[in-house]
Structure 1
Amino acid sequence: MMGYFIAMFDSTLMASSHPVITSYFNASNSASWLSTAFLLTSTSLQPLMGRLSDTIGRRPLYLAGILLLTATTAWCAAANSIGSFIAARAICGIGAAGLLSMGNVMTNDLVSIEVRGTYQAYINLFYGGGSACGAAFGGFLCDKLGWRMTFAIQLPVLIALFINAYLTTPVTLGPCLAKSSGLGVRDAMKGFDFAGSFFLTVSVAFLILGLNLGGNIFPWQHPFVIVSLVVAVIAGAILLRVESRAHRPVMPLPMLFSQPRGNLVFNNFFAQIGMNSILFNAPLYFQAVKLESASISGFRLAGPSVALTICGVSSGFIMTATGRMKWLIVVGSLFMLIGAICLSSLWDNIPPWLATIFLVPSSIGQGLSFPATSLAVLATSSQEDQAVMTSTLLLGRQLGIVMGVSLSSLILQNSLTTYLEQLIIEQVRKSVRSIIDLDPKHQIQVIDAYSRSLRIVFISAIAVYLIVNILVWGIELPRLGKKVADDEHEGGEE
């Protein structure tokens, strides 16, 4: 549980502390690399962890993840240049990938599916708490203790976590194919899907690079962005061919494109696109349209965060008590759609408190749906496939986050180009705070342009959430405690 908390605290810390860090190094133009470097490695390597842990065991990867996260956190605290700091964040992402993915997989190994919902509730509590604390207190800790101390104070917790994991994590967790087959690690790794791992990592890494840098650091027409996206597509196409022939693929295509597991993975992928289109642009709405400060607009996300955590915890207990998952997924998907509809109907002069309330339904939906989806993927997979399906689900969610931020930014910037006059467009696209300094005539035009552009973003979220609902409306899931099967689902929910 503490591993989830500290990993999410570290990953969200950048949201509020990166301005201080980049200003210290006089490198504000490199701000986006702090999060991009972490996201690049954590997302691209996470799906490999499940299949790799099947071969060499869960314990080595889990301990290595904690140790790497500890070392790179110390590196961040001592970094003497922005380049060194970015490199530390990139390697830190590898440690976080091992810690988070193995935490999920080991919980699946240790806890029976019938009571997994209760543990999922506790996981959601620490997961949400770590995310909220990292985002909320990162800036405060930077102001009071200095940005280096925000990383240094994590070290005692990480060291204690490593010692505890070393002493208590069973050696026998997972299939441990190397030991069970009587082979050494090198011989057992000969059957590992290295080709699939390579092309999966390349395709995901270049997709994240292209989507994060396009429209942010470089224009979308920049050669680097175009080449990155082309490489991602080519590597992805090769990946599909390689994985269709692999004996033990890292990306299980038959499972990914079959009901209900494929529906569940793509449901979460599209849900994250919609969710991050909303959460990424909500503060912008309050700053650009309501002319609020960054701190106040950020504080308005507290309500959705609390709703997400409460519903996530409740969802776990409900599943344990009832054994049912589908209705939570369906109701959660409907709530996300309702939230997008509410936001797309924001009218001029709407009270800020009401606009804040409109952010809550989508968070309620995610809180209800995501824990149930995690359990449903396990309940419809054999014990042998659970680790790789867990990693695949996490990959889908991470890619959804990246796609949501990038696509919504693309829609917003293109809409602003349409609505804003060319004379003021560059100024207000780069800094929403400059809207306050405009003369009344142009200020009204800019506010109206942002309002219309953000409405288009929220309408696009409606389209995404329609797909989310279609994917899960007709699926059948087993009732926990009745039957846990791979592809056969007797006694499906109605």
Structure 2
Amino acid sequence: MAPATAQSVDEETPLLRSDGGDEFPGYDIARVQSVISADGIEPTFQAVMTPEDDRSSCANHGAAADSQKKEAHPHFINVTQREFWAVFSGILFAWLIAMFDSTLMASIHPAITSHFNAANSAAWLSTVFLLTSTAFQPVFGRISDVFGRRPVYLFAVAVFFITTAWCATAQSITSFIAARAFCGLGAGGVVSAGMIISSDLIRIEYRGMYQSYINLCNGIGSSLGVACGGYIADTLGWRAAFGIQLPFIFVYLIISYFVVPTSLGPELARNEGWTLTQAAKTLDIKGSFLLVTGVTSLLLTLNLGGNVLPWSHPVIIVSLLVFCVCLIPFLKIEARAKRPVMPLPLLSTFPQANLILSNFFGTMVINTILFNMPLFFQAVKLESLTSSGLRILASSLAIMASSVFTGFFITWSGRLKPMLIIGFVFFIIGCAVTSSMNRDTPGWLAMLFLLPSGFGQGFAMPATLVSTLAVSPQAEQAVTTTTLSLFRNLGSVFGVSVSSWTLQNALIYYLTQSVTGNDRQDIIKRVRQSITEIHLLDPIHQGEAEKRDGDVPTWLSCR
């Protein structure tokens, strides 16, 4: 069968389905249509994977001979339905645990810092986890291409187990921070490798449906981490919040050893007969080092600058300089590398670059809103922490519901563009309505105003993931997945950092104008440092602070 050409593209032909009589619907056109023309990629874009390519890919996996013995299933690649669910159900479970652990710190960090008498180190508890879980994701992708998915995945699960136990038994704040750093490495590997394995096993036509299950576990795990973490810490102690995860992770590690297929991904080292030294030489070690160092420095700058440390602090200045120093050599190395850790065409070629950057800006928007709205409810509406959290839960439920719907819609209809458009329209509506809120906005209405941005994320983000995978070669699935995850995480950090910087500087300006009295500077300082101080002010100053806190976080942070 000849590769698809631009002339054969029908405007009404869906991206992921074929009307032909093939055994696997959409098998020959899964990655040929145009995302922009409502169905896949631009008409001039050549077919990324043909049936011959797919069969070749299976051969590279070392399983072509066995595939004839397996019961064919239209959803999966080279595995039976039973084998798939044995692997995928474990991936879902590991994803849920990883999300639970990643959001746990939001509710239990006060108990940990109080135990070690280290309140000034609170920011580092979440920061180091974020640094390692984000910076190393692209590295996991390339290593799994060389050595196979299974050893990388088992390594990540093992690191996750060991470091979670370390967190539960740490005897000092320094030890605990180090444990969280390595725990981020394990959790990031579990998440990224799980996504890569899913792409190896699921045909792109049906990827959206199974992504819905991942999105559901993502939402449940994140919600449980925030909601149950504090309860566990209050009733059983903060160490139990980590200890309770250990039996589940250990059992899953044992199960994974037996059920995760040995032949997944290119497995270049085995298929090419490379020794360990030869395989290591094929890795983009220089690029990986510069990427990890640069991303870590950038995240450190954005996460701490203007929030924990002033922008003029030596740590912030040095981190920013390190990022700048790493950037140019990294780009030069990636342009020449045979197997770059982050292929530059992903960031410069249509449509991959558009989709990856849309992920960046989408997560930037939703995290800007979710970070600032609790401040609005607590500082402006003077609601409790519990009440504020329940109102934010509406957005989380919207994200879960819409993301699950999106995955099944993509598989059912074979169309991606409708979800992309609807998602980003909801993002625009979400920014507009939240930026219109003030202290006179009823609490119930403010909660409803959070729904559009939640729907925006749920509709747009799964669609961009499937679109990016659909226009990427099979050999680049791993690095595409991890690059997409990296930019999503960077968008989250940018959203929080930029909006926090904007908010703090705007508060200084507006509070200076509105707060009166001889002790105005002290009041401004107290309000900027802690929103609970608003409750302690006299009625006149409280009204002044509420008004400015209501004007600033909603409008400026959503710009």
Q: State the TM-score, normalized to the length of structure 2.
A: 0.81
In structure 1, how many angstroms separate the alpha carbons of the residues matched to 2:363 and 2:460? 11
Asked if 1:433 corresponds to 2:433, the answer is no
CA contact (8 A) 2:128 2:180 kept: yes
Asked if 1:451 corresponds to 2:550, the answer is yes
Q: For 1:424, which of 523, 548, 551 is the aligned residue? A: 523
Asked if 1:297 corresponds to 2:417, the answer is no
What letter matches 1:445 in structure 2?
E
Q: Deviations over 1:223-271 (max 9, x none)?
A: 2111111211221222111111111111111122111110000001011
**Residue in 1 aligned with 2:494?**
403
Q: CA deviation at 1:182?
A: 0.8
Deviation >6 Å, runs of 4+: none
The 5-angstrom pairing of residues 2-17 of structure 1 reads 2-17=93-108
CA contact (8 A) 1:331 1:368 kept: yes
Q: CA deviation at 1:348?
A: 3.5
The 5-angstrom pairing of residues 62-101 of structure 1 reads 62-101=153-192
Asked if 1:125 corresponds to 2:216, the answer is yes
Q: For 1:222, which of 278, 303, 313 is the aligned residue? A: 313
Q: Deviations over 1:163-207 (max 9, x none)?
A: 111010111111000001011222122111111101111110000
**Residue in 2 aligned with 1:353?**
444
Unaligned runs of 5+ in 1: 461-494
**Residue in 2 aligned with 1:491?**
none
CA contact (8 A) 1:411 1:456 kept: no
Q: CA deviation at 1:145?
A: 1.3
Q: CA deviation at 1:457?
A: 2.9
**Residue in 2 aligned with 1:490?**
none
**Residue in 2 aligned with 1:44?**
135
Q: CA deviation at 1:108?
A: 0.4
What letter matches 2:117 in structure 1?
N
In structure 1, how many angstroms separate the alpha carbons of the residues matched to 2:192 and 2:201? 14
Q: Deviations over 1:317-376 (max 9, x none)?
A: 111101111110111011011001000111341101100110110010100111111111
Q: CA deviation at 1:429?
A: 1.0
In structure 1, how many angstroms separate the alpha carbons of the residues matched to 2:483 and 2:178? 26
In structure 2, how many angstroms separate the alpha carbons of the residues matched to 1:66 and 1:442? 52
**Residue in 1 aligned with 2:45?**
none
Q: Deviations over 1:6-56 (max 9, x none)?
A: 000000000111111111111111111000010011111011111111011
In structure 2, how many angstroms separate the alpha carbons of the residues matched to 1:267 and 1:233? 24
Asked if 1:197 corresponds to 2:291, the answer is no
In structure 2, how many angstroms separate the alpha carbons of the residues matched to 1:133 and 1:341? 30
Q: For 2:229, which of 105, 121, 138 is the aligned residue? A: 138
Q: CA deviation at 1:423?
A: 3.1
In structure 2, how many angstroms separate the alpha carbons of the residues matched to 1:347 and 1:150? 38
State the percentage of identical aligned residues: 51
CA contact (8 A) 2:213 2:404 kept: yes
CA contact (8 A) 2:468 2:480 kept: yes
**Residue in 1 aligned with 2:275?**
184
What letter matches 1:425 in structure 2?
I
Q: Deviations over 1:386-445 (max 9, x none)?
A: 111101000000101111111011000000110113331111111111101111111111
CA contact (8 A) 2:425 2:456 kept: yes
**Residue in 2 aligned with 1:332?**
423
**Residue in 2 aligned with 1:481?**
none
**Residue in 2 aligned with 1:250?**
341
Q: For 2:251, which of 154, 157, 160 is the aligned residue? A: 160
Asked if 1:272 corresponds to 2:363, the answer is yes
Q: CA deviation at 1:287?
A: 0.6
What letter matches 1:435 in structure 2?
I
Name whichever structure is richer in helix by fraction: 1
In structure 2, how many angstroms separate the alpha carbons of the residues matched to 1:366 and 1:236? 30
Q: CA deviation at 1:449?
A: 1.4
**Residue in 2 aligned with 1:317?**
408
CA contact (8 A) 2:469 2:481 kept: yes
Q: CA deviation at 1:300?
A: 1.1
In structure 1, how many angstroms separate the alpha carbons of the residues matched to 2:436 and 2:308? 32
CA contact (8 A) 2:503 2:557 kept: no
**Residue in 1 aligned with 2:475?**
384
**Residue in 1 aligned with 2:3?**
none
Which SS does the other structure have where 1:300 is aligned? helix
CA contact (8 A) 2:134 2:489 kept: yes
In structure 2, how many angstroms separate the alpha carbons of the residues matched to 1:282 and 1:186? 52
In structure 2, how many angstroms separate the alpha carbons of the residues matched to 1:296 and 1:85? 31
What letter matches 1:250 in structure 2?
V
In structure 2, how many angstroms separate the alpha carbons of the residues matched to 1:102 and 1:162? 14
Q: CA deviation at 1:311?
A: 0.7
> Which has the higher mean CA deviation after the structures are superposed, 199-208 or 246-255?
246-255
**Residue in 2 aligned with 1:237?**
328
In structure 2, how many angstroms separate the alpha carbons of the residues matched to 1:458 and 1:343? 10
Larger Rg: 2
In structure 2, how many angstroms separate the alpha carbons of the residues matched to 1:372 and 1:52? 27
In structure 2, how many angstroms separate the alpha carbons of the residues matched to 1:357 and 1:218? 35
Paired positions, count: 460
Which SS does the other structure have where 1:381 is aligned? coil
